[in-house]
Amino acid sequence: MRIDRAKLHRIYRYWIDWLYPNICPCCGKYIDHDADFCGECKSAITPYTDEKDIEGIDKYTSYCVYDHNIDKAILTFKKTADGNSYYAFACGIAEAARKTGIAEDIDLIVPIPITRKKMKERGYNQTELIAKELRFLLNVPYANVMIKVKDTKEQKTLGRTERAENLSGAFGISDKAPDISGKRLLLIDDVCTTGSTLTEAAGVLRIGGAGKVYAISFAKTPNKKSNEEAAS
Ligand SMILES: [Zn+2]
């Protein structure tokens, strides 16, 4: 018998809601156990409708535009593992994956990693938390395929060329990674600005044998303004 992971996860979320009531990551209002945002905040979110080619990525999209309607949820997400933001972000990425057909063409979800040092300081990788939720929503497994081997400067402080240099050699394939030869991967990140992080990561995954590399971010900064990407 095939286990319906999405259904099991909904049941889990229903019960956990009694202990840790679900809240809207934008305004903090109580919301249903399986909701991502409250109705008001959700209707204020600007959907991402642009198209952007990112070097090394077969297809890229984003759920929404990074603007003042969503910045509180993103800042909360960066600061804490509590609350609902990573579930809400996973819902957004899942929606974007279904809309673009990417959901039908992936074998594995791959989060953007953080360095060991950062992991020690913070205790978790936020993008991995999104991946853990997303695997239930898309019914596709996730794996920490990559490691971040180089501490990088905050991307938002750098210009376009400097960003690429800053990230060069930042990622490697983990010793514990599953075999990705010929696999169709979905790279996920919370915020995307120029796409240089995704390009660098995709390069490493292709060297590792990946067949296809898709990428979806939760939020995308407007194409001409690139000063808001948070460091990861
Ligand atoms: Zn709200």
Q: How far is the CA of 14 from the centre of ligand 1 (A)?
A: 19
In a domain, 57, yes or no: yes
CA dihedral defined by 93, 222, 115, 105, rounded to 10 degrees?
30
Residue 6 lies in a domain: no
In a domain, 94, yes or no: yes
User: Residue 51: which domain range?
Assistant: 45-220
What is the 74 CA–ligand 1 centroid distance (Å)? 13
Domain assignment of residue 27, yes or no: no
Q: What is the pLDDT of residues 128-174, one digit of tens each?
A: 999 999 999 999 999 999 999 877 777 767 777 777 777 788 899 99
Q: How many angstroms is it from 84 CA to the middle of ligand 1? A: 11
Q: Which position has the higher pLDDT, 200 or 232?
A: 200
Structural domains counted in the chain = 1
- The 3-state DSSP class for residue 217 equals strand
Tokens in use for 203? 């390069």
Say whether pTM exceeds 0.85.
Answer: yes
Q: How remote is the CA of residue 29 from the centroid of ligand 1, in Å? A: 6
Q: How much is the average pLDDT of 88-95? A: 96
Give tens-digit pLDDT for 65-77: 999 999 989 988 8
What is the rounded CA–CA span in Å between residue 131 and residue 189?
9
| Integer Cα distance of 90 and 132 in angstroms | 9
For ligand 1, the distance from its centroid to the CA atom of residue 45, given in whole angstroms, is 10
**Residue 34 within a domain:** no
Show Cβ contacts of residue 168 under 8 Å, excluding neighbours closer than 6 positions.
Answer: 200
Ligand 1 centroid to 19 CA: how many Å? 20
* Contact call for residues 73 and 85 (beta carbons, < 8 A): yes
Determine the distance separating the centroid of ligand 1 and the alpha carbon of 189, expressed in angstroms.
22
Count other C-beta atoms under 10 Å from residue 78's C-beta. 15
Mean pLDDT of 175-203: 95
For residue 26, being part of any structural domain is answered with: no
Helix (H, G, I), strand (E, B) or coil at 198: helix
- Strands (E) across 123-196 are located at 146-148, 171-173, 184-192
pLDDT of res. 227? 44
- Give the residue, 161 or 45, on which the prediction is more confident: 45
How do residues 47-59 score in pLDDT, each as one tens digit? 999 989 999 999 9
Domain assignment present for residue 181? The answer is yes
Is residue 40 one of the residues assigned to a domain? no
Does residue 1 carry a pLDDT above 70?
no
Domain with residue 105: its CATH number is 3.40.50
Q: Residue 82: CB partners within 8 Å, gap ≥ 6?
A: none
Q: How far is the CA of 43 from the centre of ligand 1 (A)?
A: 9
What pLDDT band is residue 226 in, cutting at 50, 70 and 90?
A: very low
